[in-house]
Amino acid sequence: KAGVTQTPRYLIKTRGQQVTLSCSPISGHRSVSWYQQTPGQGLQFLFEYFSETQRNKGNFPGRFSGRQFSNSRSEMNVSTLELGDSALYLCASSLGLQGREKLFFGSGTQLSVL
Amino acid sequence: GESVGLHLPTLSVQEGDNSIINCAYSNSASDYFIWYKQESGKGPQFIIDIRSNMDKRQGQRVTVLLNKTVKHLSLQIAATQPGDSAVYFCAENPYNFNKFYFGSGTKLNVKP
């Protein structure tokens, strides 16, 4: 069974631009969560999607948004990029059958904002 | 746990020895915990989980111990191998949905 796939693997953007990251969950998984990982703050929860609806949200500004498609694939968008948005963005999928479950992570998208 | 820190402690062990990685969590309402392993350039990999109705859970070469009284979690790795070298994170969840708080991590170095 294929794991969680994130594309692209690396991205370089400049301040003020916007970016879209993609995540394909494990087949059969309906929940997709996004996390931001930085050396200073560690892993922080961004949001979770289930059945095309945002189910939960972390403490990030509105510049961070996402969506989920009917095939459970998810995208995350960051608008008006800031230098501090440079991070590894991780997507994780789970079955979505229970409130909280073990998460399976992709390898992430490394975003650098210049 | 919920209070992430800037310092990444390092644990160095000899190949074949047992390793113990500790984690202090801060939210007494947390009742579901997961240990993850993250190798360089990869995403976190699930190792083992435990719910608060248990004190101990064993997997293949790994054991997780939970002490709710002092809000402490530990991961024991038996017969540590070079392939175990990675950063290990504990994650706690006090909710009924998929929002986890991750610790700052411990780097495990296995010396051959």
Q: pLDDT (tens digit, 0 to 9) for every residue of chain A, 114 residues total?
A: 689 999 999 999 999 999 999 999 999 999 999 999 998 889 999 999 999 999 899 999 999 999 999 999 999 999 999 999 999 999 999 998 877 889 999 999 999 999
DSSP per-residue letters across B62-109: EEEEEETTTTEEEEEESS--GGG-EEEEEEEE-SSSS--EE---EEEE
B98/A102 CB distance under 8 A:
no
pLDDT tens figures, B25-54: 989 999 999 999 999 989 999 999 999 999
What chain A residue is nearest to B30 in terms of C-alpha separation?
A: A100
In the three-class reduction of DSSP (H, G, I as helix; E, B as strand; rest coil), residue A62 is classed as coil
Residue B7: what pLDDT? 62
Strands A109-113 and A10-13: parallel
Q: How far is A8 from chain B (nearest CA, A)?
A: 14
Contact partners, residue B71, CB within 8 Å, separation at least 6: B1, B24, B25, B26, B28
Residue A98: what pLDDT? 78
User: A92: which chain B residues are within 8 Å (Cβ-Cβ)?
Assistant: 43-44
User: A44: which chain B residues are within 8 Å (Cβ-Cβ)?
Assistant: 4, 102
Q: For residues A22 and A16, what is the distance between their CA atoms, to the nearest angstrom?
A: 20
In the Cβ-directed half-sphere of A110, how many Cα atoms lie within 13 Å?
A: 8
Identity of the amino acid at A62: G
Nearest to B98 among A4, A33, A42 (CB): A33
Q: Does B103 touch chain A (CB under 8 A)?
A: yes
B102/A42 CB distance under 8 A:
yes
Nearest to A44, CA basis, from B62, B22, B45, B91: B91
Nearest to B19, CA basis, from B78, B91, B82: B78
Nearest to A31 among B34, B45, B98 (CB): B98
State the first-to-last Cα distance of chain A, in angstroms, to the nearest integer.
37
Measured in degrees and rounded to the nearest 5, phi and psi for residue A26 equal -60, 140
Identify the burial level of B68 via C-beta atoms within 10 angstroms of its C-beta, where 0-12 means exposed, 13-18 middle and 19 or more buried. middle
Q: How far is B30 from chain A (nearest CA, A)?
A: 12
Residue B1: what pLDDT? 38
Q: Low-confidence residues of chain B, pLDDT below 50?
A: 1-6
Residue B2: what pLDDT? 42
A45/B6 CB distance under 8 A:
no
